[in-house]
Amino acid sequence: MKSFLTLKSVEGVLALIRTFAPLDTEKVPLSEAAGRWLAEDWHAPEDLPGFDRSTVDGWAVHARDVFGASEGAPALLECVGDLSMGKMPGLIIEEGQAARILTGGMLPEGADCVVMVEHSRPVSDTLVELVRSQAPGDHVIYKDDDAAKGALLIPAGRRLRPQEIGLLAALGQTEVPVRRRPRVVIVSTGDELVPCSEKPAPGQVRDVNSHSLAAFCRAAGAEVELAGLVRDDVALLRETIGRAREKADVVLVSGGSSAGMRDHTVDIFTSMPESELLVHGAAISPGKPFILARSGEKCLMGLPGHVGAALVTARAFLLPLLLHLQGGEEKFRPGVRARLTRAMASAQGRRDYVRVRLSRTEEGWAAEPILLPSGLMSGLVHADAIVICPENSEGLYAGEEVWAELLA
């Protein structure tokens, strides 16, 4: 007798995923920090840029000396020198004086603004006409404009993009505290599977999920180990999962294509130390036979054997888990707006993940649903994006504008 599952909603599964503790913190060199998630709030250790700087090439002056200056009524000032980049200015600007300054140069004492070189006319080696009135602070960045010492610059949980790396560099942070990468061990089960380097005999197929899930996990920041293929043998599977659990933060079991083996996976998960079954069946399609358990601090996850279903489930649940373990989250699900080329029916009470191919039309993007069984791989390979048909919907209309989440 097949048992009926009590399907968990997507939101319910995500709430359970957030109950796992983020991994501990490690320090990595700045050059390896990009793409990682900052583990602690980071405050400015000093002012940035640290001194008042010009934002243009021009003349450092007192604003009151160019007050009202114009093409017709230029201000005539004494040139007192060229300021070098990267040095303390060796002079003080007195009333009626101007010094040549370059973009990024340090504003000399006395000066309170910069007139752009475009608004100057040299008169002689020692005299210059300035033809633009400026206010104090014009074309100047003050010493703490970018960051004031002590200010919160990057909050914990932020993913480090090139600009965050730049800010860390600007303030001399050569080591960065980030959450450790999750260690994932992937267990693939099924009597029909052979390694992808082998030629399958009739009735056999090559192991796909190990490779596609490994690529998926690595892209999400994880370190991956393949535990190899396991026959549909309960004792062997239990032993493999137990060993994987020792070294992994997340054990992924993919396969168990037969109904019997799926039940064995649940039994094995619940037999692990300090174990608790959290989810057995999720209200999504494809991906219903999803399993989630906690064993101590470790996470045990069972994904469907069907390739398409495995990747959709990975996107729905494994990605949020891997980011959460790293202290991060998906703030956005990047995508494009698109019009459906045909209607899509959907069952109420479950979230449907419709694979679509995107094409550019004169009115914008068109999303063409790919209607292939989730057991076929080619459907996902043709897909550019996923359109979600929500739980409370019976379907989407042809021509309806939808949000197409890109399959990166």
- Per CB under 8 A, 196 contacts its own copies: yes
What is the C-alpha separation between 175 and 186, in angstroms, rounded?
31
Q: Which of residues 386-405 bind its own copies (CB under 8 A)?
A: none
What is the C-alpha separation between 339 and 27, in angstroms, rounded?
46
- Per CB under 8 A, 190 contacts its own copies: yes
171 vs 253, which CB is nearer to its own copies? 171
| Closest C-alpha among 322, 324, 304 to residue 313 | 304
Q: Given the rule CB under 8 A, which of 10-18, 19-27, 270-278, 376-384 is the region that contacts its own copies? A: 376-384
- Minimum CB distance to its own copies, residue 142 (Å): 11
- Minimum CB distance to its own copies, residue 297 (Å): 27
Give the rounded distance of the alpha carbon of 117 from its chain centre: 42
- Per CB under 8 A, 137 contacts its own copies: no
12 vs 375, which CB is nearer to its own copies? 375
- Minimum CB distance to its own copies, residue 108 (Å): 10
- What would the two tokens of residue 313 be? 């489930």
What is the C-alpha separation between 398 and 385, in angstroms, rounded?
17
Burial class (CB in 10 A: 0-12, 13-18, 19+), 131: middle
Q: Which of residues 10-49 bind its own copies (CB under 8 A)?
A: 30-31, 34-35, 48-49
69 vs 153, which CB is nearer to its own copies? 153
Contact status, residue 393 vs residue 331, Cβ threshold 8 Å: no
Q: Which of 72, 334, 363, 392 binds its own copies (CB under 8 A)?
A: 334
Q: Which of 91, 170, 234, 347 binds its own copies (CB under 8 A)?
A: 170
- Per CB under 8 A, 247 contacts its own copies: no
| Closest C-alpha among 170, 177, 145, 178 to residue 45 | 170
How many residues form the binding site for its own copies (CB under 8 A)?
101
- Per CB under 8 A, 218 contacts its own copies: yes
In the stretch 257-296, what mask flags binding to its own copies with x, by CB under 8 A?
xxx-------------------------------------
114 HSE (CA, 13 A, CB side): 26
- Per CB under 8 A, 149 contacts its own copies: no
- Per CB under 8 A, 331 contacts its own copies: yes
Q: Which of 5, 7, 91, 117 binds its own copies (CB under 8 A)?
A: 117
- Per CB under 8 A, 141 contacts its own copies: yes
286 vs 295, which CB is nearer to its own copies? 286
Q: Which of 5, 14, 102, 347 binds its own copies (CB under 8 A)?
A: 102
Q: Which of 25, 133, 212, 270 binds its own copies (CB under 8 A)?
A: 212
Q: Which of 19, 162, 274, 362 binds its own copies (CB under 8 A)?
A: 162
- Minimum CB distance to its own copies, residue 391 (Å): 20
Sign of dihedral through CA atoms 325, 331, 334, 336? positive
- Per CB under 8 A, 348 contacts its own copies: no
120 vs 346, which CB is nearer to its own copies? 120
Q: Given the rule CB under 8 A, which of 18-26, 127-135, 202-210, 273-281 is the region that contacts its own copies? A: 202-210
258 vs 275, which CB is nearer to its own copies? 258
Q: Which of 135, 215, 236, 371 binds its own copies (CB under 8 A)?
A: 215
Main-chain phi, psi angles of 337, to 5 degrees: -80, 135
Q: Which of residues 56-75 bind its own copies (CB under 8 A)?
A: 57
What is the C-alpha separation between 83 and 90, in angstroms, rounded?
8
Number of CB atoms found within 10 A of residue 401's CB:
13
Q: Which of 272, 380, 386, 396 binds its own copies (CB under 8 A)?
A: 380
Cis, peptide link before residue 390, omega less than 30° from 0:
no
112 vs 138, which CB is nearer to its own copies? 138
